[in-house]
Amino acid sequence: MNTTPRLVEVRRNALKQNDLLARALRDRFREAGVRVVSLVSSPGAGKTTLLEKTLSAARRWRVAAMVGDLATENDAARLARTGAPVKQIITGAVCHLDAAMIERALEGWNLDELDLLFIENVGNLVCPASYDLGEELRLVLLSVTEGEDKPLKYPTIFNTADVAVITKIDLAGAVEFDRDVARENIQRARPGMPIIELSAKTGEGMEAWLRFLQLRTAD
């Protein structure tokens, strides 16, 4: 007799299907020469603000962005002001993007005309961790106002990312942010993960971030 609870089984199958689709997407991106970077974080950690600045600065690349939210097209409207092609994905009650949503959102876009595609996930430190989107690089953002312990409390989202970005460092003093503790906690969740510190507001650290992006997407 199968004793696995039915919901667990359904979830496992859904994840497996997502993995297969994500793999197909990854092949498609590679064939078209598009580098895909996704961003995950808690709500309000600064994903859209970082993307606004990045899209505006990354003029040497042909860039586009997709952004997932439960509701509103606000983030897409903000990003579209940079002049880059942007699509909003409304997830309704779903707390993460999945590969099928990305595939659908790609309709009407010619990937051969893009160098770099950013995907902003729904603000959430739990659900997005389990869903591969076919991206090449996953960024996890941690803003200084969230507390240094988040990598310990939400290890999976940090463990499944490739780069950690500590955001809003202009506010670090005001909230007595302990950067050494934060960095140590990130390393505990994912040993060896590169960490970038920046403020999209003041521009501090933005050059280093853009250099990192260039290096990781150059070949």
Interface residues with ligand GTP (CB under 6 A) are: 41, 43-49, 75, 123, 167-168, 170-171, 199-201
> Which of 215, 218, 209 has its CA nearest to residue 115?
218
- Indicate which of ligand GTP, Mg ion, none lies near residue 148 (CB less than 5 to 8 Å, by partner kind): none
- Indicate which of Mg ion, ligand GTP, none lies near residue 201 (CB less than 5 to 8 Å, by partner kind): ligand GTP
* DSSP code at position 121: P
Answer positive or negative: Cα dihedral of 13, 161, 40, 110: negative
- Indicate which of ligand GTP, Mg ion, none lies near residue 147 (CB less than 5 to 8 Å, by partner kind): none
CB distance 65 to 86 below 8 Å? yes
Instruction: Give whichever of 17 and 74 is closer to ligand GTP, judged by the CB atom.
Output: 74
CB neighbours (10 Å) of residue 127?
17
Least Å distance, CB 108 to Mg ion, is 22
Instruction: Give whichever of 173 and 192 is closer to ligand GTP, judged by the CB atom.
Output: 173
What is the contact mask toward Mg ion in residues 51 to 90, using x (rule: CB under 5 A)? ------------------------x---------------
- Indicate which of Mg ion, ligand GTP, none lies near residue 53 (CB less than 5 to 8 Å, by partner kind): none
> Which of 151, 155, 148, 154 has its CA nearest to residue 181?
148
Residue 63's H or E segment, with its range, is strand 63-69
Work out whether 135 is an interface residue with Mg ion (CB under 5 A). Answer: no
CA distance 198 to 143: 10
- Indicate which of ligand GTP, Mg ion, none lies near residue 49 (CB less than 5 to 8 Å, by partner kind): ligand GTP
Answer positive or negative: Cα dihedral of 106, 112, 114, 118: positive
Residue number, nearest CB to Mg ion = 48
CA 12 → CA 18, 19, 152, distances in Å? Answer: 10, 11, 25
Least Å distance, CB 74 to ligand GTP, is 8
